[in-house]
Amino acid sequence: MKGLIIKDLMCLRKMRVTFVFVTVSSFIITVMALISARCGNIALAEQEYLAGGTDMPMSPVHMLWYAVSVMVLLPLASIGDSLTLAFEADKNSGFANVAGALPLSVKQRVTARFITLFLTCGTGTVISLVLSLILSLFTDIMTLGDFAGLVLSAAALILIFSALEMMLIFLLKMKNTDYVRIISLLIMSAVFILCSLGRIIGAVRAMKPVELITDGLLFLENRWFILAAAAAVCLLVSYFVSAGIAERKRGEI
């Protein structure tokens, strides 16, 4: 099984460059913005905003908070799609034939893929947490706890997304990974809309959509454990469904 995990990680080698580029560039840009908020142009703009000398609808520091939140999540998001890439690589090479001849059960093959997912997502999370620790030294906009909450929420969302992708691939025998991605995204969006329908309607009626984003970010920062619990449930369901179907539809997937 370890061999399959190694093979999957080899498939994801081409993602290394993207991941390093996104991580380094988002880190540098964030550090520069945070320094600017302390003693640069953003700090001056904030002073002007507080003095009432501008008609900006939102404080520059508040806007920076949004931007930093997105930047922190970028490295994780860049490896979020590792699962479908591994499936795609197997499909393109015809690896299913080789895998079928290996001394491994179908369940072990599915387990290997889940472990690969945990390894990639785990690596991304650890790197993002380390970057968060460094970033928290440059600013008081967000505490280390806020950063960590965001990163853990993002990791949980990626795991939920991947759990859905995995189920779709096995359940519907979906070979086109683009469809898998889109449908997973649509399902997650639909669940989000259903769960926060009241808030969305309220924000739209009050013409305050920005508040919705702020609430969303605060939720991600402080309620990451809810998403983590949801991710755990989704992964468990996905694992048993995927392993069961893969066994039943042996040779087809």
Partner 1 sequence: MDSYTNVIELDNVVKDYGDFKLDNISFSVPKGSVCGFIGQNGAGKTTTIRLMLDVITADSGEIKLFGEDIKGNAPRLREDIGVVYDEMGFHEFMTGKDINIMMKHIYKNWDENVFFDYLKRFSLPSKKKCGDFSRGMRMKLQIAVALSHNAKLLVMDEPTAGLDPIVRNEILDIFREFVLEEDHSIFISSHITGDLEKIADEVVFIDGGKLFLQGNKDEILERHGILKCRKDEINSISKSLIVGVQEGAFGVDVLINDMKAAAKLYPELVIDRTSLEEIMLFYVASARR
Q: What is the contact surface with partner 1 in residues (CB under 8 A)?
A: 1-4, 6-7, 10-11, 13-14, 89-90, 92-98, 100-105, 108, 250-251
**Which of 1, 241 has the CB closer to partner 1?**
1
Least separation in angstroms between residue 237's CB and partner 1 is: 25
Which is nearer to partner 1, 1 or 77 (by Cβ)? 1
- Rounded to a whole number of angstroms, the minimum distance from the CB of residue 8 to partner 1 is 10
Nearer to partner 1, 10 or 193 (CB): 10
* CA distances to 1, 9, 14, 87, 111 from 95, in Å: 15, 15, 18, 10, 17
Residue where the block lists tokens 């993602």? 15
Q: In the bound complex, what is the minimum distance in angstroms from residue 174's beta carbon to partner 1?
A: 20
Q: Which two tokens stand for residue 149?
A: 């909450």
CB of 42 to partner 1, least distance (A): 44
* Residue among 90, 161, 148 at smallest CA distance from 121: 161
Smaller CB separation from partner 1, 208 or 250: 250
- Which residue lies nearer to partner 1 by CB, 47 or 93? 93
Closer to partner 1 by CB, 13 or 205: give it: 13
DSSP code, position 101: H
Instruction: Give the DSSP H/E element, type plus range, for residue 81.
Output: none
**Smallest distance, partner 1 to C-beta of residue 26, A:** 27
* DSSP states along 156-223: HHHHHHHHHHHHHHHHS----HHHHHHHHHHHHHHHHHHHTHHHHHHHHHTT-HHHHHHHHHHHHHH-
Query: Taking a C-beta distance cutoff of 8 angstroms, is the pair 78, 18 a contact?
Result: yes
Q: How many other C-beta atoms lie within 10 A of the C-beta of residue 67? A: 12
CB of 1 to partner 1, least distance (A): 8
